[in-house]
Chain A
Amino acid sequence: MNDTINFINIEGLKFFGKVNASISHELKNILAIISETSGLLNDLTDLAKQGKDLKLSMFENCSASIAEDIQRGFTTIKQMNRFAHSVDIPIKEINLFETLELTINLSGFLSFASKVQINNSDQETKSILTCPFLLQNLIYQILIFTYESVGPDGDIHIRIDSKNNDGAHLIFSSPAQLTLKGFPTQKIQKTVDVLGVELNINESPHELDIWIPYVSNKIIVLAKELQNDSYTGNDKQD
Chain B
Amino acid sequence: MEHGNVLIVDDEKKFADMLAKRTELRGYHSEVCYDGRTALQWIKKHVDSVTLILLDLQLPDMYGTEVLTRIKEINPAIPVIILTGHGTERDQQKCERLGAYKFMHKPLDIDKLMTILEHIRETPEC
Nearest to A68 among chain B residues (CB) is: B14
Tell whether A2 is near chain B: CB-to-CB under 8 Å. Answer: no
The contact string, 1 if C-beta is below 8 Å from chain B, for chain A 97-129, is: 000000000000001110000000000000000
Tell whether A48 is near chain B: CB-to-CB under 8 Å. Answer: no
Q: How many residues of A contact B (CB 8 A)?
A: 22
Q: Is the CB of B61 within 8 A of A112?
A: yes
Q: Is the CB of A39 within 8 A of B85?
A: no
Dominant SS among interface residues on chain A: helix
Q: How many A-B residue pairs have CB under 8 A?
A: 59
Contact partners of B22 in chain A: CB under 8 A: 36, 39-40, 43
- Given A33-B12, A151-B61: A28 touches B106 (CB 8 Å cut-off): yes
Q: Is the CB of A65 within 8 A of B14?
A: yes
The contact string, 1 if C-beta is below 8 Å from chain A, for chain B 79-91, is: 0000001100000
Contact partners of B58 in chain A: CB under 8 A: 25, 111
The interface size bin for chain B is: 20 to 34
Tell whether A32 is near chain B: CB-to-CB under 8 Å. Answer: yes
Within 8 A of A (CB), among B50-89: 58-61, 85-86
- Given A33-B14, A36-B15, A39-B110: A28 touches B25 (CB 8 Å cut-off): no
Q: Is the CB of B85 within 8 A of A36?
A: no
Q: Is the CB of A111 within 8 A of B11?
A: yes
User: Shortest Cβ distance from A66 into chain B, in angstroms?
Assistant: 10
The contact string, 1 if C-beta is below 8 Å from chain A, for chain B 1-35, is: 00000000001101100110110010000000001
Compute how far the CA of A113 lies from the CA of B59 in the bound complex, rounded to whole angstroms: 10
Tell whether B120 is near chain A: CB-to-CB under 8 Å. Answer: no
Contact partners of B106 in chain A: CB under 8 A: 28-29, 32, 35
User: Shortest Cβ distance from B91 into chain A, in angstroms?
Assistant: 13
CB-CB nearest 6 A-B residue pairs: A35-B107, A152-B60, A36-B18, A32-B106, A28-B85, A111-B58
Return 30 A-B CB contacts under 8 Å, by A number.
A25-B86, A29-B15, A29-B85, A29-B106, A31-B107, A32-B106, A32-B107, A32-B108, A33-B12, A33-B14, A35-B106, A35-B107, A36-B15, A36-B18, A36-B19, A37-B18, A39-B18, A39-B22, A40-B18, A40-B25, A47-B25, A65-B18, A69-B14, A111-B11, A111-B59, A111-B60, A112-B60, A112-B61, A151-B61, A152-B35
